[in-house]
Amino acid sequence: MRRLLAALWLLFPLTAQAGNLATTPLDRLYLPWWGAQFTQSLAQAKADPEARVVWLGDSITFYWQRHGGHGYDDILPLWNQYYAPYDALDFGFIGDPTSSLLWRLNHGQVAGLHPKLAIILIGANNLGRLHWDATMTIPGIEAVVADTHARLPHAHILLLGVLPSIRSPWVDAQTAIINPALASRYAASPNVTFINVNACLLKNGAPDASLFVDPQLNPPAPPIHPNETGMACIANAIQPLVAEYAGVGRK
């Protein structure tokens, strides 16, 4: 039944089923690569239980491992510089919305881990083909944060705002609702820090296509994934918080 619901996303992306699919754990096991990556992530967690930083997200998070060799998409060196010193784990899955990250959490992805910091970047795919608007996506992100805190109670959570992209005015409008709502929601939280790093990807108040990988691909695609320059800005922007919560010697 769960796989059927997942397959129906593309046919009835809004509210064809009762309830909010963005807060409903749903796997993507109908995709063999996704199941293989999930199994691999469990092995990674088991092999490195002392990881002090865990990244949770979608393809933007996955892109920390990109080593394209074209300069603009050679992002792995940034991971090695900013996160490898913390024995960090990268659990970014291409195409995942909030619901699939919830499923991963519910099925043991962070079991046995004791990180000092969990960094969450999720929500972009809710606004894509699924077309889940802000009223669905905000509770979905909040559910991810709550689930992460429940499973990693000693980790501080660094929640990044949904990044800007150049997809459609509708996506821009939803993002403009989501990020302020999340900022307000967690403003007084002792366990969660919300940070909006969107300035890293803007020029004159609008997303700068030159800071994304996608337009340089063949064929070009809408700007969604920050390139080396954009990711370096993001890493630098959050580094003080990473050092504060995950630094050597922190209890």
Per-residue pLDDT of the chain (251 residues; tens, 9 = 90+): 444 444 444 333 333 334 899 999 999 999 999 999 999 999 999 999 999 999 999 999 999 999 876 767 889 999 999 999 999 999 999 999 999 999 999 999 999 999 999 999 999 999 999 999 999 999 999 999 999 999 999 999 999 999 999 889 999 999 999 999 999 999 999 999 999 999 999 999 999 999 999 998 889 999 999 999 999 999 999 999 999 999 864 44
pLDDT at 73: 83
pLDDT at 62: 97
Look at residue 129 and tell me if it is in a domain. Answer: yes
Q: Which domain holds residue 75?
A: 2-246
Residue 43 to residue 232: CA distance in whole angstroms: 28
Q: DSSP labels for 52-96?
A: SEEEEESHHHHGGG-B-SSSTTB-HHHHHHHTGGGT-EEEE-TT-
Look at residue 193 and tell me if it is in a domain. Answer: yes
Whole-prediction pTM value? 0.90
Look at residue 176 and tell me if it is in a domain. Answer: yes
Look at residue 77 and tell me if it is in a domain. Answer: yes
Residue 155 to residue 90: CA distance in whole angstroms: 16
Q: DSSP labels for 206-239?
A: EE-GGGBSGGGSSS---S-SB-HHHHHHHHHHHH
Look at residue 134 and tell me if it is in a domain. Answer: yes
Residues β-bridged to residue 55:
90, 119
Under DSSP, the state recorded for 152 is S
Distant-in-sequence contacts of 208-216, Cβ < 8 A, 24+ apart:
209/166, 212/165, 212/166, 213/63, 213/66, 213/68, 213/72, 213/73, 216/70, 216/72, 216/73
Q: How many domains does the chain have?
A: 1
pLDDT at 7: 43
